[in-house]
């Protein structure tokens, strides 16, 4: 991809939408590469709110993104922001992931995992802090990577796997 002209943005995460457009979570906002050019989607002017930490493309063509203390949803040129009042954990947000069933998952700095659909979220606490990676295995289990280990969610409960002395 060509660099945005005159911009020194740092790409923190990327996702590719249904149409093949790459979306970039950057320290300067949410950026889409569409029809050969960069499009920066408008966010509030507050610098801290412009930092996008994670991005995930949804099966319905929309895009989810995390900001330091919130989750955003971008669909058809409009965005909606979700916060603790919508059930998200009251911690810094990190990665965002949509699983095969359409549930959206967010990892947080103090080990919480927020998850939900339809704008309603729930937060669960895990034993691993600084959750910065989310993946889904072939059997449907969700994996969250963080400081000193990982957490597996089997659809019923969270299981901690510590890395102390292992790596």
Is the pLDDT reported for residue 136 higher than 70?
Answer: yes
Percent of the chain with pLDDT over 70: 90
The predicted model scores a pTM of 0.88
Q: Residue 22 — pLDDT band, cuts 50, 70, 90? A: very high
Query: Which of the four pLDDT bands, split at 50, 70 and 90, describes residue 41?
Result: confident
Amino acid 59: pLDDT: 92
- pLDDT the model gives residue 1: 41
Q: Return the structure tokens found at 67.
A: 């900001």
Alpha-carbon distance 134 to 1, whole Å?
25
Question: What integer is the mean pLDDT of 58-85?
Answer: 90
Q: How many CB atoms lie within 10 A of CB 121?
A: 21
Tokens encoding 132: 């910065």
More confident residue, 98 or 92: 98
Question: Regarding predicted confidence, which is higher, 46 or 144?
Answer: 144
Round the average pLDDT of the chain to a whole number and report it: 89
Task: Give which of 116, 155, 125 is closest to 139, Cα–Cα.
Answer: 155
Q: What is the rounded distance in angstroms from the CA atom of residue 29 to the CA atom of residue 40?
A: 7
Residue carrying structure tokens 């969270």: 158
As a whole number of angstroms, the distance between CA 22 and CA 12 comes to 13
Long-range contacts for 160-164 (Cβ within 8 Å, ≥24 apart)? 160/126, 160/127, 160/128, 162/128
DSSP 3-state helix, strand, coil percentages of the chain (rounded to 5)?
A: 5, 50, 45
């Amino acid at each position: 991809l060509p660099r945005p002209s005159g911009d020194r943005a740092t790409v923190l995460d990327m996702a590719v939408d249904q149409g093949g457009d790459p979306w970039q979570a950057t320290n300067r906002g949410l950026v889409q590469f569409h029809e050969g050019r960069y499009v920066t989607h408008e966010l509030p002017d507050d610098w801290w709110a412009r930092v996008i930490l994670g991005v995930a493309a949804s099966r319905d063509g929309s895009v989810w993104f995390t900001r330091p203390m919130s989750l955003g949803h971008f669909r058809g040129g409009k965005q909606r922001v979700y916060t603790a009042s919508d059930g998200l954990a009251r911690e810094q947000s990190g990665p965002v992931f949509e699983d095969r069933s359409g549930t959206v998952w967010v990892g947080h700095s103090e080990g919480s995992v927020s998850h939900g659909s339809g704008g309603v979220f729930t937060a669960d606490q895990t034993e691993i802090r600084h959750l910065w990676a989310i993946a889904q295995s072939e059997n449907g289990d969700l994996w969250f990577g963080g400081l000193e280990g990982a957490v597996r969610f089997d659809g019923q409960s969270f299981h901690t796997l510590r890395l102390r002395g292992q790596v």
